[in-house]
Amino acid sequence: MRLPALLGLLPLLATACQSVPPTEAPPPPQPAHAEPVIPAVAGTTTELATGELLRVTLEGNPSTGHVWAVDGALPAQLEEVSGLPDGPDTPASAVPMVGAPQTQWLHFRAMQRGSAELRLRWHRPWEGDAAPARTASYTITVR
């Protein structure tokens, strides 16, 4: 009675002892963005060369429905850029906690020479022309 049971286990044991080829480790992540990004500092003039990128770092809480956006028309000196990684210390796998304050990054490319004021508003998009909860302003000079 034991012999048939052992013979039944033999294919299972043979399969379990097979060697599995090692899987290759994934290649190291490549930086998603290699060109330098100039941080904007409120209350000062940020100088950029044409083509350089500007990063504006803003604190907020998206769970309230508020988002940071350009207030009015975007100055001709700048073009909004999307698809860049968030901040320099933010891992791609970071999952924000619901209800917790979060950092929002906006990126702009310097397009033409001149000075401009970049005005941003923290608002609920569906509230139309309601006054924003907060505003931020940055002076930008493109050389």
What single letter denotes the amino acid at residue 2? R
Apex CA 107: angle with CA 106 and CA 110, to 5°?
A: 140
**DSSP β-ladder status, 37-39 and 53-60:** parallel
Q: CATH class for domain 33-87+99-143?
A: mainly beta
> What is the three-class DSSP state of 115?
strand
Q: pLDDT tens, 104-131?
A: 889 999 999 999 999 999 999 999 889 9
Instruction: Read off the pLDDT of residues 15-58 as tens digits, 9 standing for 90 and up.
Output: 655 554 544 545 444 445 556 678 888 888 999 999 999 999 88
User: Would the pTM count as exceeding 0.75?
Assistant: no
User: Which of 91, 87, 125 minimizes the C-alpha distance to 107?
Assistant: 87
Q: What is the 3-state secondary structure (H, E, C) of 43-91?
A: CCEEEECCCCEEEEEEEECHHHCCEEEECCCCCCCEEEECCCCCCCCCC
Residues for the chain: how many in total?
Answer: 143
Domain positions in the chain are 33-87+99-143
- Pick from 123, 47, 112: which is nearest to 136 by CA? 123
